Chains A and B, each alone.
Chain A
Amino acid sequence: MGTPELTDEYDRFFDELSRLPDINLCIEKICSEFKIQFVTYHLAFHEGKAIDSPYVRTNYPADWVSQYLTNDYVEIDPVAQSGFKRALPCLWSDLDWSSDKSVDFKNDAQKHGIGTSGYLVPITDRRRRRAIVNFASSAKESIWSHKINDISLLLQECAEILHRKAIVDLYGTDDEKPALSPREIQCLTWVAQGKDASSIGLILGISEHTVRDYCKSAKHKLGCSTMYQAIHKATMLRLIDPDSLN
Protein backbone atom coordinates (compact mmCIF):
# COMPACT_ATOMS: atom_id res chain seq x y z
CA MET A 1 0.00 0.00 0.00
CA GLY A 2 1.22 3.47 -0.72
CA THR A 3 3.60 2.79 -3.58
CA PRO A 4 2.03 3.62 -6.90
CA GLU A 5 2.45 1.13 -9.73
CA LEU A 6 3.37 2.34 -13.20
CA THR A 7 -0.16 1.58 -14.27
CA ASP A 8 -2.98 0.69 -12.00
CA GLU A 9 -6.68 0.10 -11.85
CA TYR A 10 -7.43 3.83 -11.57
CA ASP A 11 -5.58 4.78 -14.76
CA ARG A 12 -8.70 4.67 -16.85
CA PHE A 13 -10.59 6.75 -14.28
CA PHE A 14 -7.89 9.44 -14.08
CA ASP A 15 -7.60 9.43 -17.85
CA GLU A 16 -11.33 10.03 -18.28
CA LEU A 17 -11.37 12.55 -15.46
CA SER A 18 -8.63 14.71 -16.94
CA ARG A 19 -10.28 14.65 -20.38
CA LEU A 20 -13.58 16.07 -19.14
CA PRO A 21 -14.17 19.52 -20.60
CA ASP A 22 -15.41 21.14 -17.42
CA ILE A 23 -14.35 21.21 -13.78
CA ASN A 24 -17.96 20.72 -12.62
CA LEU A 25 -18.15 17.48 -14.57
CA CYS A 26 -14.91 16.39 -12.90
CA ILE A 27 -16.48 17.03 -9.52
CA GLU A 28 -19.50 14.88 -10.41
CA LYS A 29 -17.30 12.08 -11.68
CA ILE A 30 -15.16 12.06 -8.54
CA CYS A 31 -18.31 11.91 -6.43
CA SER A 32 -19.75 8.96 -8.28
CA GLU A 33 -16.44 7.07 -8.48
CA PHE A 34 -15.67 7.30 -4.78
CA LYS A 35 -19.24 7.52 -3.45
CA ILE A 36 -18.59 10.97 -2.04
CA GLN A 37 -21.43 13.43 -1.51
CA PHE A 38 -19.76 16.77 -2.21
CA VAL A 39 -16.48 18.03 -3.64
CA THR A 40 -15.36 21.65 -3.45
CA TYR A 41 -12.35 23.21 -5.15
CA HIS A 42 -11.30 26.59 -3.75
CA LEU A 43 -8.42 28.62 -5.19
CA ALA A 44 -7.13 31.61 -3.24
CA PHE A 45 -6.30 34.47 -5.55
CA HIS A 46 -4.07 36.54 -3.42
CA GLU A 47 -1.32 35.04 -1.40
CA GLY A 48 -1.75 35.79 2.28
CA LYS A 49 -5.34 36.89 1.72
CA ALA A 50 -6.82 33.47 1.37
CA ILE A 51 -10.44 34.49 1.33
CA ASP A 52 -10.27 37.44 -1.05
CA SER A 53 -12.29 36.99 -4.30
CA PRO A 54 -11.79 33.27 -4.54
CA TYR A 55 -12.41 30.88 -7.42
CA VAL A 56 -14.75 28.21 -6.08
CA ARG A 57 -16.33 25.23 -7.82
CA THR A 58 -18.61 22.93 -5.86
CA ASN A 59 -21.59 20.64 -6.15
CA TYR A 60 -23.06 21.81 -2.84
CA PRO A 61 -26.76 22.61 -3.28
CA ALA A 62 -27.44 26.23 -4.22
CA ASP A 63 -29.36 26.97 -1.03
CA TRP A 64 -26.39 25.94 1.10
CA VAL A 65 -23.99 28.03 -0.98
CA SER A 66 -26.18 31.10 -0.56
CA GLN A 67 -26.66 30.38 3.14
CA TYR A 68 -22.86 30.12 3.45
CA LEU A 69 -22.31 33.41 1.63
CA THR A 70 -25.06 35.44 3.31
CA ASN A 71 -23.93 34.35 6.78
CA ASP A 72 -20.30 34.98 5.93
CA TYR A 73 -19.56 31.47 7.16
CA VAL A 74 -16.13 31.65 5.61
CA GLU A 75 -15.11 33.61 8.71
CA ILE A 76 -16.22 30.76 10.97
CA ASP A 77 -15.79 27.57 8.92
CA PRO A 78 -12.69 25.84 10.35
CA VAL A 79 -12.08 24.22 6.97
CA ALA A 80 -11.71 27.57 5.20
CA GLN A 81 -10.03 29.18 8.20
CA SER A 82 -7.21 26.73 8.64
CA GLY A 83 -7.15 25.01 5.25
CA PHE A 84 -4.93 27.58 3.58
CA LYS A 85 -2.42 27.41 6.39
CA ARG A 86 -1.95 23.67 6.10
CA ALA A 87 0.52 21.61 4.14
CA LEU A 88 -0.64 18.10 4.98
CA PRO A 89 -4.08 16.75 4.15
CA CYS A 90 -6.37 16.08 7.10
CA LEU A 91 -9.79 14.86 8.18
CA TRP A 92 -12.30 17.55 9.12
CA SER A 93 -12.54 15.86 12.49
CA ASP A 94 -8.90 16.85 13.11
CA LEU A 95 -9.82 20.53 12.81
CA ASP A 96 -10.74 22.73 15.74
CA TRP A 97 -14.54 22.74 16.08
CA SER A 98 -14.56 23.87 19.70
CA SER A 99 -15.96 27.39 19.38
CA ASP A 100 -19.71 28.00 19.79
CA LYS A 101 -19.88 29.63 16.39
CA SER A 102 -18.37 26.62 14.67
CA VAL A 103 -20.81 24.32 16.47
CA ASP A 104 -23.72 26.46 15.21
CA PHE A 105 -22.23 26.43 11.75
CA LYS A 106 -21.96 22.65 11.82
CA ASN A 107 -25.57 22.29 12.93
CA ASP A 108 -26.75 24.59 10.19
CA ALA A 109 -24.76 22.56 7.64
CA GLN A 110 -26.46 19.38 8.84
CA LYS A 111 -29.84 21.07 8.58
CA HIS A 112 -29.07 21.74 4.93
CA GLY A 113 -28.23 18.09 4.33
CA ILE A 114 -24.49 18.64 4.32
CA GLY A 115 -22.51 15.79 5.87
CA THR A 116 -19.96 16.72 8.47
CA SER A 117 -17.41 14.06 7.65
CA GLY A 118 -14.80 15.46 5.33
CA TYR A 119 -11.27 15.34 4.04
CA LEU A 120 -9.22 18.43 3.27
CA VAL A 121 -6.38 18.43 0.72
CA PRO A 122 -4.26 21.62 0.59
CA ILE A 123 -2.43 22.44 -2.64
CA THR A 124 0.51 24.74 -3.25
CA ASP A 125 1.79 24.77 -6.79
CA ARG A 126 5.21 25.78 -8.16
CA ARG A 127 3.94 29.31 -8.69
CA ARG A 128 2.83 29.46 -5.07
CA ARG A 129 -0.84 29.49 -5.92
CA ARG A 130 -2.77 27.98 -3.06
CA ALA A 131 -5.96 25.98 -3.19
CA ILE A 132 -7.91 23.64 -0.96
CA VAL A 133 -9.99 20.73 -2.13
CA ASN A 134 -12.64 19.29 0.17
CA PHE A 135 -14.35 15.94 -0.04
CA ALA A 136 -17.48 15.73 2.12
CA SER A 137 -19.77 12.94 3.14
CA SER A 138 -22.64 12.20 5.47
CA ALA A 139 -21.05 8.85 6.35
CA LYS A 140 -20.28 8.24 10.01
CA GLU A 141 -16.85 9.51 11.00
CA SER A 142 -15.55 6.01 11.85
CA ILE A 143 -16.53 4.67 8.42
CA TRP A 144 -15.30 7.79 6.67
CA SER A 145 -11.85 7.75 8.26
CA HIS A 146 -11.36 4.12 7.20
CA LYS A 147 -12.41 4.95 3.71
CA ILE A 148 -10.04 7.92 3.57
CA ASN A 149 -7.21 5.76 4.78
CA ASP A 150 -7.73 3.58 1.71
CA ILE A 151 -8.24 6.26 -0.92
CA SER A 152 -6.40 9.35 0.33
CA LEU A 153 -3.60 9.20 -2.24
CA LEU A 154 -6.20 8.80 -5.00
CA LEU A 155 -8.07 11.84 -3.68
CA GLN A 156 -4.82 13.82 -3.60
CA GLU A 157 -4.40 12.88 -7.25
CA CYS A 158 -7.99 14.05 -7.93
CA ALA A 159 -7.23 17.33 -6.16
CA GLU A 160 -4.23 17.91 -8.45
CA ILE A 161 -6.37 17.24 -11.52
CA LEU A 162 -9.01 19.73 -10.31
CA HIS A 163 -6.26 22.29 -9.73
CA ARG A 164 -4.92 21.83 -13.27
CA LYS A 165 -8.46 22.20 -14.65
CA ALA A 166 -8.97 25.39 -12.67
CA ILE A 167 -5.69 26.89 -13.91
CA VAL A 168 -6.58 26.09 -17.51
CA ASP A 169 -10.07 27.45 -16.90
CA LEU A 170 -8.71 30.70 -15.48
CA TYR A 171 -5.66 31.29 -17.62
CA GLY A 172 -6.73 29.47 -20.76
CA THR A 173 -3.61 27.39 -20.92
CA ASP A 174 -1.53 24.99 -18.97
CA ASP A 175 1.83 26.11 -17.70
CA GLU A 176 4.88 26.12 -19.93
CA LYS A 177 6.39 23.06 -21.60
CA PRO A 178 7.62 20.89 -18.77
CA ALA A 179 11.30 20.41 -18.06
CA LEU A 180 11.81 16.69 -17.73
CA SER A 181 15.05 15.52 -16.20
CA PRO A 182 17.28 13.12 -18.15
CA ARG A 183 16.34 10.30 -15.77
CA GLU A 184 12.64 10.97 -16.25
CA ILE A 185 13.17 10.91 -20.02
CA GLN A 186 15.08 7.61 -19.80
CA CYS A 187 12.36 6.01 -17.71
CA LEU A 188 9.55 7.21 -19.99
CA THR A 189 11.44 6.02 -23.03
CA TRP A 190 11.82 2.54 -21.57
CA VAL A 191 8.17 2.45 -20.50
CA ALA A 192 7.30 3.32 -24.10
CA GLN A 193 9.32 0.25 -25.04
CA GLY A 194 7.08 -1.85 -22.85
CA LYS A 195 9.48 -2.36 -19.96
CA ASP A 196 8.15 -2.61 -16.43
CA ALA A 197 9.59 -0.83 -13.41
CA SER A 198 11.79 -3.68 -12.24
CA SER A 199 13.36 -4.20 -15.70
CA ILE A 200 13.99 -0.47 -16.05
CA GLY A 201 15.56 -0.47 -12.62
CA LEU A 202 17.95 -3.21 -13.73
CA ILE A 203 18.76 -1.44 -17.00
CA LEU A 204 19.48 1.90 -15.33
CA GLY A 205 21.00 0.49 -12.17
CA ILE A 206 18.48 2.17 -9.86
CA SER A 207 15.78 0.75 -7.59
CA GLU A 208 12.33 -0.14 -8.79
CA HIS A 209 10.89 2.35 -6.31
CA THR A 210 13.03 5.14 -7.78
CA VAL A 211 11.93 4.20 -11.31
CA ARG A 212 8.32 4.60 -10.18
CA ASP A 213 9.12 7.97 -8.65
CA TYR A 214 10.68 9.22 -11.92
CA CYS A 215 7.68 7.96 -13.91
CA LYS A 216 5.19 9.50 -11.53
CA SER A 217 7.09 12.77 -11.52
CA ALA A 218 7.26 12.86 -15.35
CA LYS A 219 3.54 12.15 -15.49
CA HIS A 220 2.81 14.96 -13.07
CA LYS A 221 5.03 17.47 -14.90
CA LEU A 222 3.37 16.63 -18.20
CA GLY A 223 -0.01 17.22 -16.58
CA CYS A 224 -1.06 13.69 -17.42
CA SER A 225 -3.00 11.22 -15.35
CA THR A 226 -1.77 7.97 -16.84
CA MET A 227 1.49 6.67 -18.20
CA TYR A 228 -0.13 6.15 -21.60
CA GLN A 229 -1.07 9.82 -21.79
CA ALA A 230 2.36 10.84 -20.53
CA ILE A 231 4.17 8.79 -23.17
CA HIS A 232 1.88 10.12 -25.86
CA LYS A 233 2.33 13.73 -24.79
CA ALA A 234 6.08 13.41 -24.29
CA THR A 235 6.35 11.89 -27.76
CA MET A 236 4.22 14.64 -29.31
CA LEU A 237 6.30 17.31 -27.58
CA ARG A 238 9.42 15.49 -28.78
CA LEU A 239 10.65 15.16 -25.25
CA ILE A 240 11.20 11.46 -25.82
CA ASP A 241 11.92 9.39 -28.89
CA PRO A 242 10.80 5.83 -28.20
CA ASP A 243 12.64 4.62 -31.30
CA SER A 244 15.97 5.95 -30.07
CA LEU A 245 16.67 2.72 -28.22
CA ASN A 246 16.37 0.55 -31.33
Chain B
Amino acid sequence: MFFVLEDHNRNEYPTLYQRMFQLRKEVFAEQLEWDVKLSNLGEIDAYDDCNPAYLIWTNADKTILYGCLRLLPTTGPTLLYDVFRDTFPNNVSLTAPGIWEGTRLCIDEKALAKDHPAMNPRRAFCLMLLGLCEVALQFKIHTLISNYEPATKRLYNMSGAVLTELGRANSYGKRPVCAGSFEVSQKVLKNMRIRLGVNHALLNNDFPDDEKKATQSQAA
Protein backbone atom coordinates (compact mmCIF):
# COMPACT_ATOMS: atom_id res chain seq x y z
CA MET B 1 0.00 0.00 0.00
CA PHE B 2 1.35 3.39 -1.03
CA PHE B 3 -0.18 6.42 0.67
CA VAL B 4 0.57 9.92 1.90
CA LEU B 5 0.99 10.81 5.58
CA GLU B 6 0.82 14.37 6.87
CA ASP B 7 0.96 15.85 10.35
CA HIS B 8 -2.80 15.89 10.77
CA ASN B 9 -2.91 12.08 10.68
CA ARG B 10 0.32 11.57 12.56
CA ASN B 11 -1.50 10.36 15.68
CA GLU B 12 -3.16 7.56 13.74
CA TYR B 13 0.16 6.01 12.73
CA PRO B 14 2.62 6.53 15.58
CA THR B 15 4.50 3.29 14.93
CA LEU B 16 4.96 4.03 11.23
CA TYR B 17 6.45 7.40 12.13
CA GLN B 18 8.76 5.80 14.68
CA ARG B 19 9.86 3.15 12.22
CA MET B 20 10.40 5.71 9.47
CA PHE B 21 12.86 7.74 11.53
CA GLN B 22 14.65 4.56 12.60
CA LEU B 23 14.85 3.33 9.01
CA ARG B 24 16.27 6.67 7.90
CA LYS B 25 18.92 6.33 10.59
CA GLU B 26 19.81 2.83 9.39
CA VAL B 27 20.00 3.88 5.75
CA PHE B 28 21.45 7.39 5.79
CA ALA B 29 23.63 7.34 8.89
CA GLU B 30 24.70 3.70 9.03
CA GLN B 31 24.72 2.46 5.42
CA LEU B 32 25.41 5.60 3.39
CA GLU B 33 27.34 7.31 6.21
CA TRP B 34 25.82 10.69 5.48
CA ASP B 35 26.51 13.41 7.99
CA VAL B 36 22.95 13.55 9.35
CA LYS B 37 21.65 14.54 12.77
CA LEU B 38 20.60 11.67 15.00
CA SER B 39 18.47 11.54 18.10
CA ASN B 40 17.21 8.60 20.11
CA LEU B 41 14.13 8.67 17.88
CA GLY B 42 16.25 8.12 14.81
CA GLU B 43 17.22 10.46 12.00
CA ILE B 44 15.07 13.57 12.32
CA ASP B 45 15.98 17.07 11.21
CA ALA B 46 14.44 20.54 11.32
CA TYR B 47 12.54 19.93 8.10
CA ASP B 48 10.54 17.15 9.70
CA ASP B 49 9.10 19.93 11.89
CA CYS B 50 7.96 21.94 8.87
CA ASN B 51 4.78 19.90 8.34
CA PRO B 52 6.08 17.82 5.45
CA ALA B 53 4.09 15.21 3.60
CA TYR B 54 5.55 11.69 3.51
CA LEU B 55 5.06 9.11 0.82
CA ILE B 56 4.80 5.83 2.68
CA TRP B 57 4.90 2.25 1.39
CA THR B 58 3.63 -0.45 3.74
CA ASN B 59 1.97 -3.85 3.76
CA ALA B 60 -1.81 -3.96 3.22
CA ASP B 61 -2.76 -3.33 6.85
CA LYS B 62 -0.27 -0.48 7.22
CA THR B 63 1.74 -2.11 9.99
CA ILE B 64 5.06 -2.86 8.27
CA LEU B 65 7.01 -0.08 6.60
CA TYR B 66 8.78 -0.89 3.30
CA GLY B 67 9.77 2.56 2.12
CA CYS B 68 9.39 6.28 2.74
CA LEU B 69 10.17 9.68 1.32
CA ARG B 70 9.69 13.27 2.50
CA LEU B 71 7.98 15.95 0.42
CA LEU B 72 8.29 19.70 1.02
CA PRO B 73 7.05 22.64 -1.06
CA THR B 74 9.94 24.74 -2.41
CA THR B 75 8.04 27.89 -1.47
CA GLY B 76 8.83 27.07 2.18
CA PRO B 77 12.06 26.04 3.95
CA THR B 78 13.71 23.12 2.18
CA LEU B 79 16.75 21.00 2.89
CA LEU B 80 18.30 21.38 -0.52
CA TYR B 81 17.89 25.14 -0.57
CA ASP B 82 19.40 25.61 2.87
CA VAL B 83 22.03 22.91 2.87
CA PHE B 84 23.13 22.74 -0.72
CA ARG B 85 22.81 26.39 -1.66
CA ASP B 86 26.47 27.10 -0.92
CA THR B 87 27.60 24.03 -2.78
CA PHE B 88 25.47 24.62 -5.83
CA PRO B 89 24.78 28.35 -5.83
CA ASN B 90 23.66 27.91 -9.37
CA ASN B 91 21.02 25.41 -9.26
CA VAL B 92 19.13 24.14 -6.29
CA SER B 93 17.31 27.28 -5.39
CA LEU B 94 14.27 26.59 -7.58
CA THR B 95 11.29 28.10 -5.77
CA ALA B 96 7.71 28.05 -7.03
CA PRO B 97 4.30 26.49 -6.50
CA GLY B 98 4.28 23.23 -8.46
CA ILE B 99 7.96 22.55 -7.66
CA TRP B 100 8.46 20.32 -4.61
CA GLU B 101 11.46 18.74 -2.92
CA GLY B 102 11.61 14.99 -2.35
CA THR B 103 14.30 13.85 0.09
CA ARG B 104 15.23 10.91 2.33
CA LEU B 105 13.96 8.28 -0.08
CA CYS B 106 14.78 4.92 1.44
CA ILE B 107 13.75 1.28 1.43
CA ASP B 108 13.66 -1.27 4.25
CA GLU B 109 15.39 -4.09 2.39
CA LYS B 110 14.98 -6.59 5.22
CA ALA B 111 11.25 -6.05 5.61
CA LEU B 112 10.80 -6.31 1.86
CA ALA B 113 12.90 -9.45 1.53
CA LYS B 114 10.72 -11.06 4.15
CA ASP B 115 7.35 -10.14 2.61
CA HIS B 116 8.33 -9.90 -1.07
CA PRO B 117 11.29 -12.23 -1.49
CA ALA B 118 11.18 -12.06 -5.29
CA MET B 119 11.59 -8.32 -5.41
CA ASN B 120 15.07 -6.87 -5.44
CA PRO B 121 15.81 -3.53 -3.73
CA ARG B 122 16.41 -1.76 -7.01
CA ARG B 123 12.91 -2.54 -8.20
CA ALA B 124 11.56 -1.45 -4.83
CA PHE B 125 13.36 1.88 -5.22
CA CYS B 126 11.88 2.28 -8.70
CA LEU B 127 8.38 1.55 -7.39
CA MET B 128 8.84 4.32 -4.81
CA LEU B 129 9.72 6.67 -7.68
CA LEU B 130 6.61 5.56 -9.53
CA GLY B 131 4.51 6.16 -6.40
CA LEU B 132 6.15 9.57 -6.12
CA CYS B 133 5.23 10.36 -9.71
CA GLU B 134 1.60 9.45 -8.97
CA VAL B 135 1.47 11.64 -5.87
CA ALA B 136 2.99 14.54 -7.76
CA LEU B 137 0.47 14.27 -10.57
CA GLN B 138 -2.40 14.10 -8.14
CA PHE B 139 -1.33 17.37 -6.52
CA LYS B 140 -0.30 19.12 -9.76
CA ILE B 141 3.37 19.06 -8.90
CA HIS B 142 5.24 19.31 -12.21
CA THR B 143 8.82 19.18 -10.96
CA LEU B 144 10.48 17.35 -8.09
CA ILE B 145 13.90 18.35 -6.79
CA SER B 146 15.89 15.62 -5.12
CA ASN B 147 19.31 14.64 -3.83
CA TYR B 148 20.88 11.27 -4.54
CA GLU B 149 24.18 9.45 -4.83
CA PRO B 150 25.67 9.30 -8.36
CA ALA B 151 25.08 5.57 -8.66
CA THR B 152 21.39 6.07 -7.92
CA LYS B 153 20.92 7.96 -11.16
CA ARG B 154 20.87 4.59 -12.91
CA LEU B 155 17.82 3.64 -10.89
CA TYR B 156 16.01 6.78 -11.99
CA ASN B 157 16.84 5.92 -15.60
CA MET B 158 15.77 2.33 -15.05
CA SER B 159 12.43 3.49 -13.69
CA GLY B 160 11.81 5.65 -16.75
CA ALA B 161 11.91 8.91 -14.78
CA VAL B 162 13.42 11.93 -16.53
CA LEU B 163 16.14 13.14 -14.16
CA THR B 164 18.25 16.23 -14.84
CA GLU B 165 21.37 16.59 -12.73
CA LEU B 166 21.61 20.14 -11.41
CA GLY B 167 24.88 19.78 -9.56
CA ARG B 168 26.93 17.66 -7.17
CA ALA B 169 28.73 18.14 -3.86
CA ASN B 170 31.79 16.25 -2.64
CA SER B 171 31.82 17.30 0.98
CA TYR B 172 28.59 15.81 2.25
CA GLY B 173 29.65 12.31 3.21
CA LYS B 174 31.72 9.41 1.96
CA ARG B 175 30.61 9.77 -1.66
CA PRO B 176 29.48 12.73 -3.77
CA VAL B 177 25.85 13.74 -3.46
CA CYS B 178 23.97 15.04 -6.50
CA ALA B 179 20.98 17.28 -6.75
CA GLY B 180 18.63 16.86 -9.64
CA SER B 181 15.19 17.66 -10.93
CA PHE B 182 12.65 15.06 -11.94
CA GLU B 183 10.02 16.10 -14.44
CA VAL B 184 6.47 14.90 -13.79
CA SER B 185 3.79 14.52 -16.45
CA GLN B 186 1.26 11.98 -17.70
CA LYS B 187 3.80 11.06 -20.37
CA VAL B 188 6.46 10.36 -17.75
CA LEU B 189 3.98 8.31 -15.71
CA LYS B 190 3.06 6.23 -18.75
CA ASN B 191 6.70 5.67 -19.58
CA MET B 192 7.51 4.62 -16.02
CA ARG B 193 4.61 2.17 -15.92
CA ILE B 194 5.75 0.57 -19.17
CA ARG B 195 9.36 0.33 -18.02
CA LEU B 196 8.38 -1.18 -14.70
CA GLY B 197 5.62 -3.40 -16.07
CA VAL B 198 3.05 -1.86 -13.74
CA ASN B 199 -0.42 -1.35 -15.20
CA HIS B 200 -2.36 -0.03 -12.22
CA ALA B 201 -2.20 2.88 -9.77
CA LEU B 202 0.05 2.20 -6.79
CA LEU B 203 -1.31 4.99 -4.64
CA ASN B 204 -3.97 3.96 -2.10
CA ASN B 205 -4.20 0.51 -3.65
CA ASP B 206 -3.45 -2.79 -2.04
CA PHE B 207 -0.25 -4.17 -3.42
CA PRO B 208 -1.43 -6.41 -6.25
CA ASP B 209 -0.76 -10.12 -6.61
CA ASP B 210 0.55 -9.69 -10.13
CA GLU B 211 3.57 -7.86 -8.72
CA LYS B 212 5.33 -11.18 -8.28
CA LYS B 213 4.99 -11.90 -11.98
CA ALA B 214 6.12 -8.40 -12.94
CA THR B 215 9.08 -8.70 -10.60
CA GLN B 216 10.24 -11.92 -12.20
CA SER B 217 9.73 -10.78 -15.79
CA GLN B 218 11.58 -7.54 -15.13
CA ALA B 219 14.52 -9.24 -13.43
CA ALA B 220 15.67 -5.69 -12.87
At the interface, yes or no: B89 with Cβ under 8 Å from chain A? yes
At the interface, yes or no: B42 with Cβ under 8 Å from chain A? no
| Residues of A contacting B7 in the complex (Cβ-Cβ under 8 angstroms) | 85-87
Main secondary structure of the interface of B (DSSP, over half): loop
B12 to chain A, nearest CB (A): 10
Q: List which B90-119 residues lie within 8 A (CB) of chain A.
A: 90-91, 93-99
At the interface, yes or no: B63 with Cβ under 8 Å from chain A? no
Stretch of A23-31, A64-72, A107-115, A149-157 at the chain-chain interface: A149-157
Q: List which A1-39 residues lie within 8 A (CB) of chain B.
A: 1-4
At the interface, yes or no: A238 with Cβ under 8 Å from chain B? no
Query: Contact between B142 and A3 (Cβ–Cβ < 8 Å)?
Result: yes
Query: Contact between A153 and B95 (Cβ–Cβ < 8 Å)?
Result: no
A interface bracket (residues with beta carbon within 8 Å of B): 35 or more
At the interface, yes or no: B185 with Cβ under 8 Å from chain A? yes
Query: Contact between A85 and B8 (Cβ–Cβ < 8 Å)?
Result: yes
Q: How many residues on chain B are close to A (CB under 8 Å)?
A: 38
Q: List which B140-191 residues lie within 8 A (CB) of chain A.
A: 140, 142-143, 162, 164, 181, 183-186
B206 to chain A, nearest CB (A): 20
The proximity string for A residues 44-79 relative to B, scoring 1 for CB distances below 8 Å and 0 otherwise, is 000000000000000000000000000000000000
**Chain A residue with the shortest CB-CB distance to B89:** A181
Query: Contact between B95 and A87 (Cβ–Cβ < 8 Å)?
Result: no
Query: Contact between A153 and B97 (Cβ–Cβ < 8 Å)?
Result: yes
Query: Contact between A128 and B8 (Cβ–Cβ < 8 Å)?
Result: no
| Residues of A contacting B183 in the complex (Cβ-Cβ under 8 angstroms) | 207, 209
At the interface, yes or no: A193 with Cβ under 8 Å from chain B? no
**Chain A residue with the shortest CB-CB distance to B93:** A181
Within 8 Å by CB of A87, from B51, B98, B185, lies: B51
Give 7 A-B contacts (CB < 8 Å), ordered by A residue. Answer: A81-B8, A85-B51, A87-B53, A182-B90, A184-B93, A216-B98, A217-B74
**A residues touching B (Cβ–Cβ < 8 Å)?**
1-4, 81-82, 84-89, 122-126, 128, 130, 152-153, 156-157, 159-160, 179, 181-184, 206-207, 209-210, 213-214, 216-217, 219-221
